[in-house]
Amino acid sequence: MNEIFNLVLLAVLALVFIPTLLLFLQVICASLPRRPAPLPEVAPPRLAVVVPAHNESIGIRVALESVMPQLRAGDRLIVVADNCTDDTAQIARAAGAAVVERHDPARRGKGYALDFGVRYLERDPPQVVVIIDADCWVAPGAIDRIAGLSWSTGRPVQALYLMKSPEPASAMMPVKEFAWTMKNLVRPLGFLQIGLPCQLMGTGMAFPWPSISKATLASGHIVEDLKLGLELARAGTAPLFCPDASVISVFASSADGARAQRTRWEHGHLAMVFSEAPGYFVDAVRGMNLPLLALTMDLCVPPLALLTLAISGLCAAALLDFIVYASATPLLFALLVTLCLAAAVFLAWAGFARDIASVRVLLRAPVYALAKIPLYVRFLVRRQVDWVRSKRDTP
C-alpha cells in the first residue's frame, strides 16, 4: 500500500512539476537583458480597426478616443454593435466610427461579432486588421507598432495587454493585478526572448488580412482568442508578442462583474487544457511544429492560484506520507516543486511588479488562492461553457 501511494504521489508531483518548471524558465528568460525589438521596414499598411461591442456605452468613448488619433488617411475604425440594447451605436457614430449593427440573440459571443466585422470588410479588404476591445485604452503609437510589425512579418501580433486595479481597490486587487502581469507580460516576454510565440489575449491584436480572413471566428467559445492563437500556430503563423505596444483595461470592481470575469477566463482556460491540449500536442509533435508545441505547453500552465493550491495540497500529502510511512522522496520532490514556484513568483515580482504589490501584499496570495476554491469546484460540477459578458461598473 505504501509503495502504491508513493508511486501515485510521485506521478502527480511530476505532472505538476512540468508546468511549474516551464513557468520558472519563462520568468528566468524574461529577466534576461531585453533583445532588440524588430522594427518594421515597410511602409505603414492600410488598416482597419475593429471594435466588437455589446452594450458598451459606459466606456466605449474612451476606447475610441484613444484609437482615432493613431489612424492615418485611408484607415478605418469599425464598431460592431453586437446585440446591443443601449446607445453603444449612437455613441460610436458620434465619436467618428463607422458602425455595423448585428442582431442575432441566438448566436451570442465576441467570436460572432468579430466574424461579422471581418465579413463586412471583405468588400474592401485592408492590409491589416487590428482588434481592440471596447473597454480598453490604447497607448499612443501602439496601433502603428503592431500593425507595422504584423504587415512586415506576415504574422499575427499581440500587444501587451494589462489590467489595472480600479479605484478604490480591494485589499486583494494588487495580488490579482500581479497574477495578470505575470501571465500577460512576464511569461510571453520570456518566450519572446528565446524566439517563441505568445498566446492571443483578446485585444490589442493585429492580423494580416490573408490570415484573419481565413480564420474560423464565428463561435460562442468563451476563450475564443486563446483558441484562435493555437489554430493560427497550427497553420504556421503563430502570434508574435510586442511588449512595446500596450492596451490597458480595468478590473471590474463590483463583486458580480469580478466573479463573471474570473469564471469566464479560468473555466475557459481549464476547459481548453482538458479538451484541446492533447490534440494540439499530437499535431505539434507529428508536424514538428515547435511554435505550436510551445503554445500548447504554455496553455497547460494552470492559473497561478490553482497551481499554488495544487502544490500546497501535494506538499500536505507528502508530509503526511513522511509522518506515517517515513517516505522522504515524495516530500523532497514536493519541496523542490514548491521552491520552483516560489522562485518564479519572487523573480517575477522583483523584476516586473514592485510597483504593483508590496511584499506584505504578496504574502496575501495564499488567501487569494483559497478564496478561489469555489470557482474551481464549479468547474468540476457546473462548468461555464457559454459566453457571458462581464457586468461593467457604472461611472
List the domain range (segments joined by +) for residue 332.
2-31+303-363
Domain boundary among 227, 257, 287: 257
Please list, in sequence order, all residues whose beta carbon lies within 8 angstroms of the beta carbon of residue 314, skipping any fewer than 6 positions away.
Answer: 9, 12, 13, 16, 334, 337
Query: Would 39 be classed as within a structural domain?
Result: no
What distance in Å separates the CA atoms of residue 218 and residue 289, rounded to the nearest whole number?
26
Q: What is the pLDDT of residues 145-197, one digit of tens each?
A: 999 999 999 999 999 999 998 877 777 889 999 999 999 999 999 999 999 99
pLDDT of residue 38: 61
Q: Grid coordinates in use for 135? A: 473597454
pLDDT of residue 359: 86
- Do 238 and 339 lie in a common domain? no
- Do 6 and 59 lie in a common domain? no
User: What percentage of residues in the chain have a pLDDT greater than 90?
Assistant: 68
- Do 250 and 325 lie in a common domain? no
pLDDT of residue 3: 81
pLDDT of residue 394: 41
- Do 24 and 65 lie in a common domain? no
User: What percentage of residues in the chain have a pLDDT greater than 70?
Assistant: 92
- Do 88 and 13 lie in a common domain? no
pLDDT of residue 325: 83
- Do 245 and 351 lie in a common domain? no
Return the H-helix or E-strand segment holding 244: strand 240-250
pLDDT of residue 86: 92
- Do 69 and 142 lie in a common domain? yes
Whether 389 shows a pLDDT value over 70: the answer reads no
Whether 395 shows a pLDDT value over 50: the answer reads no
From the list 86, 36, 95, 39, the residue with the least C-alpha distance to 67 is 95
pLDDT of residue 342: 95
* Mean pLDDT score, 116-144: 95
- Do 25 and 85 lie in a common domain? no
β-strands 98-102, 76-82: how paired? parallel
What distance in Å separates the CA atoms of residue 85 and residue 152, rounded to the nearest whole number?
40
> How many domains, in total, are found in the chain?
2
Whether 93 shows a pLDDT value over 60: the answer reads yes
- Do 91 and 21 lie in a common domain? no
CATH at 186: 3.90.550.10
Report the residue count for the chain: 395
Whether 387 shows a pLDDT value over 60: the answer reads no
Count helices and strands (H / E) in the chain.
Answer: 17, 8
Query: Would 64 be classed as within a structural domain?
Result: yes
- Do 333 and 197 lie in a common domain? no
Query: Would 105 be classed as within a structural domain?
Result: yes
- Do 57 and 179 lie in a common domain? yes
Please list, in sequence order, all residues whose beta carbon lies within 8 angstroms of the beta carbon of residue 352, skipping any fewer than 6 positions away.
Answer: 30, 181, 182, 185, 186
Please list, in sequence order, all residues whose beta carbon lies within 8 angstroms of the beta carbon of residue 369, skipping any fewer than 6 positions away.
Answer: 304, 305, 306, 308, 309, 312
Q: What is the pLDDT of residues 184-230, one digit of tens each?
A: 999 999 999 999 999 999 999 999 999 999 998 887 666 789 999 99
Whether 125 shows a pLDDT value over 90: the answer reads yes
Query: Would 166 be classed as within a structural domain?
Result: yes
Query: Would 141 be classed as within a structural domain?
Result: yes
Query: Would 381 be classed as within a structural domain?
Result: no
Among the residue ranges 32-41, 173-182, 333-342, 343-352, the one predicted with the least confidence is 32-41
Q: In Å, what is the CA distance from 305 to each residue of 147, 247, 322, 323, 351?
A: 34, 24, 26, 27, 20
Whether 312 shows a pLDDT value over 90: the answer reads yes
pLDDT of residue 80: 96
Domain boundary among 203, 237, 257: 257
Query: Would 233 be classed as within a structural domain?
Result: yes
Domain boundary among 257, 272, 288: 257
Q: What is the pLDDT of residues 36-59, one digit of tens each?
A: 666 666 788 999 999 999 999 988
Q: What is the pLDDT of residues 250-276, one digit of tens each?
A: 987 766 666 676 777 788 888 889 889
- Do 157 and 59 lie in a common domain? yes
What distance in Å separates the CA atoms of residue 212 and residue 226, rounded to the nearest whole number?
14
Please give the distance of CA 83 from its chain centroid, rounded to a whole number: 25
Query: Would 309 be classed as within a structural domain?
Result: yes
Whether 128 shows a pLDDT value over 80: the answer reads yes
What distance in Å separates the CA atoms of residue 294 and residue 319, rounded to the nearest whole number?
33
